[in-house]
Structure 1
């Protein structure tokens, strides 16, 4: 009996010399004229193809690398994009675009360790070495975890998802939170959070917000790591502010002072203050979430009670009070200091120049913190 499963169709996806192995779906192969029996006959231990996941195939017999796993995971978890059925257009390979990624699909995004690898985290293995892939899909999808793919259902995919190296991937802060959820080692949590902020993968405020949304701040290891993260983020922002003043030729302020009326109440603390111009700079850095404050160590001298940082509403009230007294408050974010220092220096310089054209402020004392 002849069991020839050779491909007699002239539309069978020729392999381009030097090209990466292609990952395709069974639906795409059927559109090329192959029957289920032909596909099955080619996915034997002797090749020439292999099945990676249900309905997803690698047109090669070699080792499966991280990029092939990513493509396969997205083809398995994603839906065909509107207007993109099959792979005949472009002939770059079934289900792939010119970068060799899982094009023509939507409704899924890479997260977890695989997303950290795509974002370039040193704590994650390099992309070619990935052995498992986590993908987010909408909760309404009927899809099971299979093989090296773990399906994570969510109500909605993150709207900020982007394309990194051709693969749809969640923002770095979301990927970190998803990885932290599965970590038990406090040192690993601390190192991952520190790398995320120190290497500029994400801002501490965004990272803390994700950890809070994932309800992870109640874990002692995470709470302690966040405390250290915020302290380091604050220190980095202060160093950027010092550099901004000196590099851009701004007058030297008095640093880290408390403002108050003579004999009156405390008006608030600022990071830099120019007394003659009555201009203050306040750093907008991540603050300790109130929901986690109870699990964090109390600061020294607090009588054993940890007092949470004032929230945005309290900052707004304080700023309004200072401006009624004639003090101009310039609020600078850590992200803006890193990415647009010259623009922030211009904002401070403008405030200092404008002080010459207004009436003198009420006398405000500036005392060391």
Structure 2
């Protein structure tokens, strides 16, 4: 008996619409919709029979261990409130396999990070259990390889290799909640930012909501993440100036009034045009209102002195570099139409 063993002849024809592993892993409800009676199901799962019950209400239509893909679909079938697509759907578009949807269930944690393509996440066959995220009020318990995690509000799932997975920030938080090795946590967080999966702010927000920032090894990893995230944003800012042929600014400077107070640090400054760029790399775990007030006060003070401040987030730099370059270029070109700025002292930061 191999992994391509079909359903019984009576049920084989209508199950052909299911792709790959989904043809070999079916729930009690799916089998019933395909005309398989409880007696026939029990007969197929008898000792030495061709099928096996893998999880409560979930059956493998072959003997032997499941593949990684089969385990994923089995866990989703177990956890989903229902499979939203009918067992016998309308004919799919040519070249488009029919994929049932799993309502109120998605893969999360390390398995989701692996499906998102994380090199630092373990291979699926090495995972003894697969984390699956469901609503908090679902009455469902962990069993076998299905490890149930709960959320007050489910995030919008993404699709990876044909299965619904939690977005990277949520998957990271669910993985980190179960990890005690500081090196592993740091590698996962670092890869999320370095590989462009998401920004540090989104990760820290999820870790904060999961109440994980109080763990010393997580706090240390977050500090390193913020430093790395800022370095990556600065590199993107340097690349933006170079690739879009903007005039060279002075980098990483402090401004002061002559003999007066410190005005604040800036990531880039064009003295002749009195235009500044400031990267917003605030950590969500900080008091956002207080931090935003500080940003606003500094910008308003500089603008009263005639200095234009362009405020850029790392996400804007990553997703809209050309647009941000156009904003800076417009500010530089408009400098000739403004009154001269006050004289300020520019110091290295």
TM-based fold match above 0.5: yes
Cα distance change of structure 1 residues 310 and 351 upon mapping to structure 2, 3 Å threshold: same
**2:267 counterpart of 1:271:** yes
Equivalences for 1:334-345 in 2 at 5 Å? 334-345=314-325
- Give unmatched runs, 5+ long, in structure 2: 1-6
Separation in structure 2 between the aligned mates of residue 257 and residue 76 of structure 1, nearest angstrom: 57
| Aligned counterpart, 2:117 | 120
Equivalences for 1:246-261 in 2 at 5 Å? 246-261=242-257
> Is the Cα contact below 8 Å between 1:65 and 1:130 reproduced in 2?
no
Equivalent residue pairs, number: 340
Cα distance change of structure 1 residues 328 and 264 upon mapping to structure 2, 3 Å threshold: same
Separation in structure 2 between the aligned mates of residue 184 and residue 125 of structure 1, nearest angstrom: 15
- Give unmatched runs, 5+ long, in structure 1: 1-5, 292-307
| Aligned counterpart, 2:340 | 360
C-alpha distance after superposition, 1:303-331 (max 9, x if no partner)? xxxxx997122112211221122111111
| Aligned counterpart, 1:43 | 45
C-alpha distance after superposition, 1:252-284 (max 9, x if no partner)? 111111112222221111011111111000112
Alpha carbon RMSD of aligned pairs, Å?
Answer: 2.7
| Aligned counterpart, 1:32 | 34
Cα distance change of structure 1 residues 164 and 8 upon mapping to structure 2, 3 Å threshold: closer
Equivalences for 1:192-207 in 2 at 5 Å? 192-207=188-203
Equivalences for 1:325-340 in 2 at 5 Å? 325-340=305-320
Does the residue aligned with 2:254 lie in a helix, a strand or coil? Answer: strand
Deviation (angstroms), 1:14: 5.8
| Aligned counterpart, 1:209 | 205
Separation in structure 1 between the aligned mates of residue 80 and residue 285 of structure 2, nearest angstrom: 35
Separation in structure 2 between the aligned mates of residue 7 and residue 258 of structure 1, nearest angstrom: 75
> Is the Cα contact below 8 Å between 1:112 and 1:175 reproduced in 2?
yes
TM value normalised by structure 1: 0.84
> Is the Cα contact below 8 Å between 1:111 and 1:134 reproduced in 2?
yes
Separation in structure 1 between the aligned mates of residue 190 and residue 147 of structure 2, nearest angstrom: 26
C-alpha distance after superposition, 1:69-88 (max 9, x if no partner)? 11111111112256x4x402
Does the residue aligned with 1:326 lie in a helix, a strand or coil? Answer: coil
Separation in structure 1 between the aligned mates of residue 70 and residue 263 of structure 2, nearest angstrom: 59
**2:87 counterpart of 1:87:** yes
> Is the Cα contact below 8 Å between 2:115 and 2:160 reproduced in 1?
yes
**2:133 counterpart of 1:136:** yes
Separation in structure 2 between the aligned mates of residue 152 and residue 358 of structure 1, nearest angstrom: 57
> Is the Cα contact below 8 Å between 2:276 and 2:308 reproduced in 1?
yes
Equivalences for 1:55-204 in 2 at 5 Å? 55-80=57-82, 84=85, 86-90=86-90, 99=97, 101=99, 103-127=100-124, 130-158=127-155, 160-204=156-200
Structure with the higher helix share, 1 or 2:
2
C-alpha distance after superposition, 1:215-259 (max 9, x if no partner)? 111111111111111111111111221222122211111111111
| Aligned counterpart, 1:302 | none
> Is the Cα contact below 8 Å between 1:66 and 1:129 reproduced in 2?
no
TM value normalised by structure 2: 0.89
Separation in structure 2 between the aligned mates of residue 114 and residue 100 of structure 1, nearest angstrom: 23
